[in-house]
Amino acid sequence: MRAPAPQPSSTSSSDRAVLRDVIVTLVWIAVMLLVAEFAFRAVVPQLSANSRSIAASQTRAAEMAAYDGPTVLILGNSISGEGIDPELLNEALQGAGSSARIWHQPADTTAMRDWTFELQNLFVARGATPDVLVLPVGFEQPLVRVNARTEDLYQSFLGPGDLRVLFELDAVEGLEERSGARLSRLSALYGFRGRVQKRILVALVPGYEDMWGAIRRSAEQEDTELVTNDAWAERMHDMTQELGIDVIVVAMPSVALEGRLPPGDRELAERFGWTVLEPAADVAFDETERPDGFHLTEPARERFTTLLAPSLVARLADLTEGM
Amino acid sequence: MRFDSFAFAIFIVIVLPLYWRIASVRLQNVLILVSSYVFYGWWNQTFLLLIALSTFVDFAVAKAIEASDDPARRKRLVIISAVTNLGILGIFKYFNFFIDSAVTGLQALGLEANAPLLNVLLPVGISFYTFQTLAYTIDVYRGKMKAEHDLLNFACYVAFFPQLVAGPIERASHLLPQFSVPRTVTMAQWRTGATLIVFGLVKKIAIADNMGPLVDAVYQSDPNTVSAPLVFAATCAFALQIYADFSGYTDVARGIARIMGFDLCINFDKPYVSATPSEFWRRWHISLSSWLRDYLYIALGGNRGGKLATYRNLMATMVLGGLWHGAAWNYVLWGFYHGGLLCAYRVGDVDDHLPERGPLRVAAAIPFFVLTLYGWLLFRAVSLEQVAAFTSVFFGSWSDWSVALPMLMVTAWFAIPVVVHHVLARGLRGEKWMPSNPLAWRLCLAAVVLYGVIHARASATAFIYFQF
């Protein structure tokens, strides 16, 4: 740093001292952030194990890759996590004499965009290409919706080369968004900050999550975290076609859907040749079974899985015949 | 270009080293002007013409005022400046508001009324730079300072990028001479500057941006679904949001200016410890309130015409101050409310009776904070209907704290850094609150950066005061 002054010699030595201080300070901050980054990376598996099932996905992918028979992967979010019991479905398959086996990968707040990267990077890239993919959709997250605020998405599901596709399909433009996405991908500290904040606030503030639930219920505004972008459904279709994966869409019994796929999604599924199952279309789920409107209680989960099992087993029998 | 954007990070990484590589003051000023226009033009290039217009008019008018001995001519010249600056402000900021209000008023009287509205954007920072240039011309007219004869220096003063879009509204007598002298940066300036920048950004991205969704959720709700505690809690959150947002911007502006060798005025001085409205306005947005005092309140007669005239002048000043913030009736109401508070406290001579410090002053600060909160409700409301609805909510039940209490706790959590800063900065005018030991300072600065990274909200929002 150089500044003009009446006495050049003394000023330049003072300038050098300031410049040195600037550099030392920046190095200090960088080192502190690096230390925090590495400390953070040590706890990321715990964070993602709960929220994204990343650690468990490795086991699932390994089992699936090693399995000698038709494989079925359910990719979903917390709605399917708390709505479908894979063990019950596997028992139903076994009972029907099917050799097919189901793995369930429910990762919170994910939607179609996340599922494409999960399928690509957590399963197919690990040699686990399912024969059938099941996509349960519920609440306001049907086939053409993506969650705009999955902050740790970049850490969990994206490979280094995926940002280009992400920017293209999400129409991410401008320095701001692209830099933020890249930073989220590069840094666990930055990418997972939303989840850390939430953990801190959940620990500190009793009723924090209930507060947001109440606010969302009373707010007039739309849930701005969800955006419509059917480009991701198109990509999923292209990917599954290329890999020879059959797709089944299951309408969950949550509010906004009530067990039926919205007309736009139905058209999309028909166009793609995807099977649509609506086991709860004519069955009511009351408030005691889905207290927040979209997550089922344990008994309701069992009830819905029992409703789903016959149609799913029958369809899987058709799809996996001869495998 | 926002201070909390990647674009600005790149901008400053290019501009600052270049600025300090240049030895000549004049070339440094050229760089300041070019970079300031790039900074503003990043948002909209067309509106640079307005800044240029304001610059040329006030530069020429002030020189002509100085050159003239004819009082009538001098007056005509200062009117040209006022008409130009207030005209720009009136057309771009208030035209639609007044036309729309007139049409609504006529329609309410049962008259047919229709008028075309202007389809224009509100130029960012227009209220700040027009007030700044207008004050300069008035100062020259009043003989308080000499006219600037160097157009480059004056253009830099008008467009200086750290404070161009959201202040502080700098007086020419303070900032303008700094463009004529060589700038140096001492170790203390660099450290306090860096501290201001880091803490200012943290206030914005980690505090204000986290309060925004809570506030928006309640203020965008159906008034029939909200309870008194919820409106109270959301308004507390807004009090923190607007303070962290605006004072954060000011901190960054002052910090950047400081490491460029400039001194910008203090704009906030712990406003929420105020015990009276006059104290609040000596602590909140100081550059605007002192502007309003010097160029409006005093021009209207100040307190020279007896009690009633003083109250009238206070009310007029505050109502216009409210309108300065935005072209909407709730801002007018906010100004009216604060004018009313100033008058009421003056009637009771509260300022004279309160001790400088001690328990009585603390006790007085609590009810005044509640009054301030109601002012923020007026300020944040999206319509007068919402003001009425939320106000009536306060007369209903206060029993349901199930949502409001967690909201207050979240607000309290995010207020901790601000409170810590207030306690540490006591008596040190804000920026020298970190340890002076270099190692301890660096550790503290890095800790604040880390806090900011972890608490930064994913979706940043524009600074609230950009819209004014």
Helices and strands (H and E) in chain B: how many: 20, 0
pLDDT at residue A237, as a whole number: 95
Its sign, for the CA torsion A34, A36, A38, A44, is negative
pLDDT at residue A4, as a whole number: 46
Tokens 């799809």 identify what position? A319
Q: Stretch B133-153: mean pLDDT, rounded?
A: 95
Distance CA A162, CA A184 (A): 13
End-to-end CA distance of chain A: 72
Q: With 70 as the cut, is the pLDDT of residue B241 above it?
A: yes
Instruction: Give the predicted TM-score (pTM) of the model.
Output: 0.83
Using CB atoms within 10 A of its CB, is residue B66 exposed (0-12), middle (13-18) or buried (19+)?
middle
A33 pLDDT tier (thresholds 50, 70, 90): very high
Distance CA A290, CA A279 (A): 16
Give the A window 23-52 contacts with B, CB below 8 Å.
Answer: 24-25, 28-29, 31-33, 36
Percent of chain A with pLDDT over 70: 85
pLDDT at residue B438, as a whole number: 87
Q: With 60 as the cut, is the pLDDT of residue A51 above it?
A: no
B-interface mutation test, from A9, A13, A22, most B Cβ less than 10 A away: A22
The residue type at A227? V
Flag if A4 and B442 touch (Cβ within 8 Å).
no
Residue B364 CA, distance from chain mean position: 25
Flag if A151 and B458 touch (Cβ within 8 Å).
yes
Flag if B220 and A220 touch (Cβ within 8 Å).
yes
Across chain A, what does the average pLDDT equal? 83
pLDDT at residue B162, as a whole number: 96
Tokens 């930073």 identify what position? A183
Return the residue of A nearest to B445 by Cα. Answer: A29
Flag if A149 and B403 touch (Cβ within 8 Å).
no
What count of other Cβ atoms lies within 10 Å of the Cβ of residue B413?
A: 16
Give the B window 124-153 contacts with A, CB below 8 Å.
Answer: none
pLDDT at residue B467, as a whole number: 52
A10 pLDDT tier (thresholds 50, 70, 90): very low
Q: With 90 as the cut, is the pLDDT of residue A174 above it?
A: no
Distance CA B358, CA B362 (A): 6
Summarize pLDDT for B278-299 with one digit per residue, the tens: 999 999 999 999 999 999 999 9
pLDDT at residue A9, as a whole number: 39
Q: With 80 as the cut, is the pLDDT of residue B395 above it?
A: yes
CB A255 within 8 A of CB A139: yes
The angle subtended at Cα A116 by Cα A114 and Cα A120, nearest 5°, is: 115
Concatenated DSSP letters of A165-208: HHHHHTT--HHHHHHHHHHHHH-HHHHTHHHHHHHHHHHHSTTH
Chain A hits for B184, Cβ within 8 Å? 3-5, 11, 14
B426 pLDDT tier (thresholds 50, 70, 90): low
Across chain B, what does the average pLDDT equal? 90
Flag if B182 and A190 touch (Cβ within 8 Å).
no
B184 contact A CB<8A: yes
Using CB atoms within 10 A of its CB, is residue B110 exposed (0-12), middle (13-18) or buried (19+)?
exposed
Flag if B406 and A221 touch (Cβ within 8 Å).
no
What are the backbone dihedrals phi and psi of residue A102, each rounded to the nearest 5 degrees, phi first? -110, 135
The residue type at B387? V
Flag if A208 and B261 touch (Cβ within 8 Å).
no
Query: The sheet that has A132-137: what strands, in order across it?
Result: A101-106, A71-76, A132-137, A246-251, A275-277
Closest to B7 (Cβ–Cβ): which among A11, A176, A210?
Answer: A176
* Range name among A67-76, A258-267, B239-248, B329-338 with the lowest pLDDT average: A258-267
A57 pLDDT tier (thresholds 50, 70, 90): confident
The angle subtended at Cα A180 by Cα A179 and Cα A185, nearest 5°, is: 95
Q: With 60 as the cut, is the pLDDT of residue A262 above it?
A: yes
Q: Annotate A72-112 with three-state secondary structure.
A: EEEEECHHHHCCCCHHHHHHHHHHCCCCCEEEEEECCCCCH
pLDDT at residue A126, as a whole number: 92
B306 contact A CB<8A: no
Q: Stretch B263-275: mean pLDDT, rounded?
A: 92
pLDDT at residue B205, as a whole number: 92
- In chain A, where does DSSP find H-type helix? 8-51, 54-66, 78-81, 86-95, 112-117, 153-156, 163-169, 174-186, 188-191, 193-204, 208-218, 231-243, 263-272, 298-319
Q: With 50 as the cut, is the pLDDT of residue A48 above it?
A: yes
pLDDT at residue A78, as a whole number: 85
Greater model confidence, A207 or B120 = A207
Instruction: Note if B149 is an active site residue.
Output: no
Closest to B6 (Cβ–Cβ): which among A179, A190, A215?
Answer: A179
Summarize pLDDT for A122-141 with one digit per residue, the tens: 899 999 999 999 999 887 77
A304 pLDDT tier (thresholds 50, 70, 90): very high
Q: Which residues pair with A226 in a beta bridge?
A: A147
Summarize pLDDT for A269-296 with one digit per residue, the tens: 999 999 999 999 888 888 888 888 888 9
B112 pLDDT tier (thresholds 50, 70, 90): confident
